[in-house]
């Protein structure tokens, strides 16, 4: 099933791009009221037209950042192992396709942990007024990358079963 190598490479790239966009953008939380519109990400917060980078961050944001970076590293490993598999099947005695599949599953797991930590912090928050603070599109991109990494891993494993 070498023909599945191209779709798995495209899925790996798409997953990686979604994760990069989520990590780098600032629309994880959006707060609206009559006078103020603000949004924040993992790196800065913006209120109306002014933006400020975080001087110090709570532990859940540090954990989210750390696990997203681990997901990013594993996603890059998966993508580049798939690209390399077009030119050679093994690196020493290790199958590059297997390395890619493990990287995809690891990236999905790390992204899920990061987003679960972030979600858990805000769904259980007592001081957040209901309806005024919502999750933004960056947060959605992060969650979209999670199942795509898992699908990439499954499709990549299917290429190993080629006759």
Confidence of residue 133 (pLDDT cuts 50, 70, 90): confident
Q: What is the pTM of this model?
A: 0.89
Mean pLDDT taken over the chain: 89
What does the angle CA 52 – CA 137 – CA 30 come to, to the nearest 5 degrees? 50
Confidence of residue 55 (pLDDT cuts 50, 70, 90): confident
Q: What pLDDT does 83 receive? A: 93
How does pLDDT run across 29-48, given as a tens digit for each residue?
888 877 778 888 999 988 88
Could you give the CA distance from residue 163 to residue 157 in angstroms, rounded to a whole number? 13
Instruction: Indicate if the pLDDT at residue 163 is higher than 60.
Output: no
Mean predicted confidence (pLDDT) in 100-110: 97
* CATH match of 2-25+57-160 with 1.20.140.150: yes
């Amino acid at each position: 099933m070498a023909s599945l190598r191209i779709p798995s490479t495209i899925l790996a790239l798409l997953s990686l791009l979604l994760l990069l966009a989520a990590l780098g953008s600032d629309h994880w939380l959006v707060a609206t009221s009559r006078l103020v519109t603000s949004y924040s990400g993992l790196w800065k917060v913006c209120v109306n037209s002014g933006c400020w980078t975080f001087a110090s961050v709570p532990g859940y944001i540090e954990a989210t950042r750390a696990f997203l970076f681990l997901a990013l590293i594993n996603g890059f490993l998966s993508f580049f192992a798939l690209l390399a598999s077009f030119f050679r099947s093994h690196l020493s005695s290790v199958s590059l396709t297997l390395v890619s599949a493990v990287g995809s599953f690891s990236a999905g797991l790390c992204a899920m942990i990061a987003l679960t930590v972030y979600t858990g912090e805000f769904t259980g928050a007592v001081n957040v007024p209901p309806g005024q603070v919502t999750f933004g599109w960056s947060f959605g991109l992060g969650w979209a990358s999670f199942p795509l990494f898992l699908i990439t891993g499954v499709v990549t494993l299917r290429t190993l079963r080629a006759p």
